[in-house]
Amino acid sequence: MSFGNILTDAVKNHFNKDDDNDKDDLNHAVSHASAHASSNEDSSLFSQALSFVKERNSQGSYNDDVDEDHVVNSHKRYEEGGNNMDSRDLGAGAAMQALKMFNSGSGENTGGGKDKNAFIGMAMAQAGKMWEEKAGKGEASGDKQSAVNQAAEMAFKMYMKSQMSGSGGTGGPSGLMGLASKFLK
């Protein structure tokens, strides 16, 4: 069985659990995103992004592995400034920025499902901020919702990858830290 199939099965199993604690598994990401977002940010951006992730997951769209080069290069292009970036690039760069923040302790490493919500929420908030900054300079193509959607999707994929590669099959903060060490060379 390929890694992509294992990842897809893990994601499907995660979202298809019948236990009450998992039904709203990603819903807390909206409150995390709002906490890290600009004060004037509309939380419906984040709710729509999570709906996008859940819909894509139900369609089995998470077969792809994380394109690590794209994530790292998007973040570098953002930091360098002066680069035109589309929503996909901004989303990937925002997920990378959230991973850096999470790794530095700016995130809420609370364990359980909360770390996933914090990480995805931070990525969505960063996408909103990054899109605003780039759009203000005329360096953003696409729309803000698409950038937030892409950030949520990439963060979710990164988190699921960390779950698969965590020590002894455990993910959570230690899995994200392992993923961070890989990305933040």
Reading the block at residue 139, the tokens are: 């360096």
Of the pLDDT bands very low, low, confident and very high (cuts 50, 70, 90), residue 169 is very low
Tell me the mean pLDDT in the region 61-66: 70
- pLDDT > 70: percent of the chain: 68
What pLDDT, on the 0 to 100 scale, is given for residue 38?
72
What pLDDT, on the 0 to 100 scale, is given for residue 9?
52
Mean of pLDDT over the chain: 77
pLDDT digits (tens, 9 = 90+) for 9-22: 544 444 444 333 34
Tokens 């998470």 belong to which residue? 62
Q: Which uninterrupted H or E stretch holds 84?
A: none
* Residues 6 or more apart in contact with residue 140 via CB below 8 angstroms: 84, 85, 86, 87, 90, 131, 134, 147
pTM of the model: 0.76
How far is the C-alpha of 36 from the C-alpha of 91, rounded, in Å? Answer: 16
Closest CA to 87 of 102, 74, 73, 101: 74
Of the pLDDT bands very low, low, confident and very high (cuts 50, 70, 90), residue 42 is confident
How far is the C-alpha of 157 from the C-alpha of 57, rounded, in Å? Answer: 10
For the chain, give every domain's residue range.
3-183
The lowest-confidence range among 4-8, 43-47, 70-74, 98-102 is 4-8
pLDDT digits (tens, 9 = 90+) for 83-98: 999 999 999 999 999 9
Reading the block at residue 59, the tokens are: 């369609």
How many CA atoms within 13 Å lie on the side-chain side of 126?
30
Q: Looking at the predicted structure, is the pLDDT value of residue 39 above 70? A: no
What pLDDT, on the 0 to 100 scale, is given for residue 175?
63
- pLDDT > 90: percent of the chain: 41
Tokens 């300079």 belong to which residue? 137
Tell me the mean pLDDT in the region 114-142: 92
Of the pLDDT bands very low, low, confident and very high (cuts 50, 70, 90), residue 102 is confident
What pLDDT, on the 0 to 100 scale, is given for residue 77?
94
How far is the C-alpha of 99 from the C-alpha of 154, rounded, in Å? Answer: 11
